Amino acid sequence: SQQGEEDPQALSIQEGENATMNCSYKTSINNLQWYRQNSGRGLVHLILIRSNEREKHSGRLRVTLDTSKKSSSLLITASRAADTASYFCATARSNYKLTFGKGTLLTVNP
């Protein structure tokens, strides 16, 4: 069954605005990861947050994890046109297998 579910499915914002994407999952996890995929390309790893962490930052990215609600959010601040891509959350259990969500298509308009 699909583990991660991103919300919203699509998001369109103006350059400079913040973008927030959410991810919900169903089972216990070892860690949760966020990836970016430009159209027709491979995945770029953005950030990993472990099950015992609540918040993590990397540059303009901020990820939160609420294991009690089985949810995570990815915030991209001061968005740029180059941030236009699909964003996926992926959950990992102890065997390192990743289960991907359906993704959020982010469009940042110049």
CB of 28 to another protein, least distance (A): 15
Burial of 88 (0-12, 13-18, 19+ CB in 10 A): buried
**d(C-alpha 65, C-alpha 63), whole Å:** 7
* Least spacing, CB of residue 25 vs another protein, in Å: 13
Q: Give the residue, chosen from 11, 19, 33, 71, that forms a contact with another protein under the rule CB under 8 A.
A: 33
Query: Which residue stretch of 16-24, 26-34, 63-71, 72-80 sits at the interface with another protein (rule: CB under 8 A)?
Result: 26-34
Cα torsion 48, 51, 52, 53: sign: positive
Q: How many Å apart are CA 108 and CA 19, to the nearest integer?
A: 9
Which of the stretches 32-40, 58-66, 67-75, 77-85 binds another protein when contact is defined by CB under 8 A?
32-40
- Site residues, another protein (CB under 8 A): 2, 30-31, 33, 35, 40-45, 48, 50, 88, 92, 96-103
